[in-house]
Amino acid sequence: MIVVNTPTIPGKHIAKVLGLVRGNTVRARHCGIDFIAFLKNMIGGEISEYTKLFAETREQSLDRMLEEASKLGANAVVNLRYTTCYIAQGAAELLAYGTAVMIEDEH
């Protein structure tokens, strides 16, 4: 499946718009990671534990969105976006959303 953050795909024609698709996940921080982050914050540098956590969260949200698009019969998703919001202390939601479409080669 082709996934782009643009409204069109070069060389392709959008034959049918199937609608909005989305996938989300809510993750909570782990107190052990928070302690490591606190220590790293004192000396500086990347907090790789958080980087890994957010990368996994993005992939899970994207996978869920693509699953929804597949159920609609889409072969592409255009206008992919991510958004984040805080749910509670130490917990955040990551939402991936876009437009499921059927594409064809341009003639």
- CA 84 vs. chain centroid, Å, equals 10
Domains by residue range for the chain, with CATH: 2-105 (3.30.110.70)
Q: How does DSSP assign the chain, residue by residue? A: -EE-SSSS-TTEEEEEEEEEEEEEEEEE--HHHHHHHHHHHHH-S--HHHHHHHHHHHHHHHHHHHHHHHHTT-SEEEEEEEEEEEEETTEEEEEEEEEEEEEEE--
- Which one of 26-35, 36-45, 73-82 scores highest in mean pLDDT? 73-82
Assign 62 a pLDDT band (cuts: 50, 70, 90): very high
| CA–CA distance, 86 with 90 (Å, rounded to integer) | 8
* pLDDT attached to residue 5: 97
pTM equals 0.81
Average pLDDT of the chain is: 87
